[in-house]
Amino acid sequence: MTGENPILEIAGRCMRALAARGEPTSMAAIARRLGRDDSLVRRILKGERPIHPDFLRDLGLYAGVPVAELFHTMGWLPESELSAQELAALADEMRRAVGTLEKAEPYLAQLAQPAPAAPVMAAQLLLDDPAAAERFETRLSQVVSGDRYRAATATVAELGPRPGVRALPERELAALAAASALHVPRGPHDEFALVRLELRARTRRRLNNGQEYAWQGGAGQRTWRQAARDWPAHLLVQCAISGRQFPAGTVPWTCPEPRTIVMIGGRHGTGVAAALLAEALGWQFVLVRKNILVTRSGRIGAVPIDAVRSRNRSWMAVAEHIARRDAEREPWPAVVLVRPAAFVADAGGLSEPEVRALLATPARIVTARPPGAYLRWWGRRIEGDYAPGRHDGESQSRRIAGHYDGLARHLARAERPAGHDLFLRVPPPRGTQEEMLPAQVPHLPGEVFDQTVRVAWATLSWLSEVTRTPIRARPGRLRGWQTRLQADPDAVLPRLSGPE
């Protein structure tokens, strides 16, 4: 060992752990508990005598500190320096560690694959719970969109009470809701609202894993009417392409100088292209949404269900992780989708810290500015998620356009490396708004989804150029559409020299 004596570090950690548990921390008390000589324990913990594995094991067990971590602090000792008794003790610890790893295997396996889609998970939760299964029926479906390029764009779970089933008694419902950090609002409630609250309470905790989904189907709502058998309905809907976080593939694309990709956009335009691009690269897909956190390894999780983290704070956490990984010369192989709203302050204007984090990011920034017709379509679509007159879609579309304008001005003034970023212009639709962009229907207009695919393809081609590295799309949707894209006269979108 070189440098600071690790025994002192171990002693300090164990003393703090004992104090936290209310145990005595005197050398005499520790010696009595470990069944060893007082003066010997004192000399060991002061670093004056060597520490042996059996002593370290007993000290860790007494203090409640993982023994494996203490062995790691000391460094692994060669077998030749261990007695048979000490080897047996170490083997016992190893068997315990292996047993712990076996128990953790299902959790570790989840890190290498995405969580099930929220509608699928919700349906399974109800089916697996006998109390819920005898009260509810489930129906799963998918919505397919696109003209030239067809794909499932939404997953839908229709969760309805069985015939004759009524809302739970108020006290039982309140207890169920409280367990999921929900509460029963005061005032009178209709049967539909109480059943919806029960469904949310039965599924919310397990669905708190970084996914994005929405409950739809109220009597005054219109957009998802065609996706349901009955109306009103309890629909849990999710974007089938970009609604959840995806880990990296087994064989991710590499290049000499990889950089994380940050794509600015959303479902109001071609933002879903970020998930298609990540799939083609075999990279991790990260959706910046409220209530997410980023682990040191880059895994995306969720804050506790009784906590709240804004989309702005989520973006800052992602931006900090990108910067740290780049500083450590281990760039994060991820495609990050961040909506313009993540840069907006509560007062409505752009927030300086969030914008500054964007301008300073070592990631490559990709922006495909949606035409105004797309934003107006999105505003009308969202109006259908509310009762008539409860939402102003036109004002929303103007706000989003203003966010893009503000970000474009900041990016135009920023000192970003030449050729580091990509700015695309999505052309306006050729037909009329009503013909090309039907709004209050479950599927995406073919115009919007086809252009989304082209944005992903154009970004993939550009990335190959700037890195001077061929990219063969990994198995997935872009690879399946490759022949069509190569023959598509509209697949080459206009590149801009800077943000519009």
How far is residue 74's CA from residue 3's CA, in Å, rounded to a whole number? 12
Q: Residue 77: what pLDDT?
A: 44
Which range of residues forms the domain containing residue 235?
118-239
Q: Are 316 and 354 in contact (CB under 8 A)?
A: yes
How far is residue 461's CA from residue 1's CA, in Å, rounded to a whole number? 51
Q: Residue 81: what pLDDT?
A: 45
Q: Model confidence at 1, in pLDDT bands (50, 70, 90)?
A: very low
Q: Identify the top-confidence range among 84-88, 180-184, 267-271, 431-435.
A: 267-271
185 lies in some domain: yes
Q: Judge whether residue 401 has pLDDT over 70.
A: yes
In a shared domain, residues 458 and 316: yes
Q: Residue 286: what pLDDT?
A: 98
In a shared domain, residues 164 and 312: no
In a shared domain, residues 268 and 397: yes
pLDDT-wise least confident of 36-40, 285-289, 443-447: 36-40
Q: Judge whether residue 188 has pLDDT over 90.
A: no
State how many domains the chain has: 3
| Residue carrying structure tokens 């089916």 | 127
In a shared domain, residues 316 and 200: no
Mean pLDDT computed over 285-300: 94
pLDDT tens sequence across 326-364? 999 999 999 999 999 999 998 889 999 999 999 999 999
Q: Model confidence at 79, in pLDDT bands (50, 70, 90)?
A: very low
Q: Judge whether residue 52 has pLDDT over 70.
A: yes
Q: Last residue of a domain, which of 88, 110, 132?
A: 110
Q: Residue 24: what pLDDT?
A: 86
Dump strand ranges (E) for 162-287.
214-216, 235-239, 261-264, 284-287
In a shared domain, residues 292 and 201: no
46 lies in some domain: yes
Q: Model confidence at 38, in pLDDT bands (50, 70, 90)?
A: confident
Q: Judge whether residue 105 has pLDDT over 70.
A: no
347 lies in some domain: yes
Q: Residue 93: what pLDDT?
A: 66
pLDDT tens sequence across 141-171? 999 999 999 999 999 999 999 999 999 998 9
Cβ-proximal residues to 263 (8 Å cutoff; 6+ apart), any chain: 271, 273, 274, 277, 335, 336, 337, 338, 365, 366, 367, 368, 459
Q: Residue 78: what pLDDT?
A: 43
How far is residue 29's CA from residue 36's CA, in Å, rounded to a whole number? 10
Cβ-proximal residues to 87 (8 Å cutoff; 6+ apart), any chain: 79
Q: Which helix (H) or strand (E) holds 153?
A: strand 151-161
In a shared domain, residues 105 and 124: no
Which percentage of the chain shows pLDDT scores above 90? 68
Mean pLDDT computed over 58-74: 80
pLDDT tens sequence across 422-452? 999 999 998 888 789 999 999 999 999 999 9
- Local structure of residue 487 (DSSP, 8 states): T
Residue 319: closest CA among 342, 301, 350? 342
Q: pTM of the full predicted structure?
A: 0.78
Q: Residue 288: what pLDDT?
A: 98
Q: Residue 80: what pLDDT?
A: 42
In a shared domain, residues 321 and 377: yes
Mean pLDDT computed over 226-240: 97
Cβ-proximal residues to 384 (8 Å cutoff; 6+ apart), any chain: 221, 222, 223, 224, 439, 440
Q: Residue 76: what pLDDT?
A: 43
In a shared domain, residues 24 and 152: no
Q: Judge whether residue 2 has pLDDT over 70.
A: no
Q: Last residue of a domain, which of 61, 94, 110?
A: 110
Who has greater pLDDT, 83 or 283?
283
Q: Judge whether residue 224 has pLDDT over 60.
A: yes
In a shared domain, residues 295 and 404: yes
pLDDT tens sequence across 81-99? 444 455 555 556 666 666 6
Give the distance between the most distant pair of CA atoms in the chain: 90
Mean pLDDT computed over 289-307: 91
Q: Model confidence at 390, in pLDDT bands (50, 70, 90)?
A: very high
In a shared domain, residues 331 and 428: yes
pLDDT tens sequence across 11-32? 888 888 888 777 888 899 899 8
In a shared domain, residues 474 and 407: yes
Tokens standing for residue 125: 């939760």
Q: Last residue of a domain, which of 110, 128, 158?
A: 110
Give whole-number Cα distances, 202 to 136, 147, 173, 189, 245, in Å: 11, 38, 10, 19, 22
213 lies in some domain: yes
In a shared domain, residues 178 and 224: yes
**Where residue 62 sits, what CATH number does that domain have?**
1.10.260
Q: Residue 246: what pLDDT?
A: 95
Q: Residue 50: what pLDDT?
A: 86
How far is residue 347's CA from residue 349's CA, in Å, rounded to a whole number? 6
Who has greater pLDDT, 108 or 295?
295
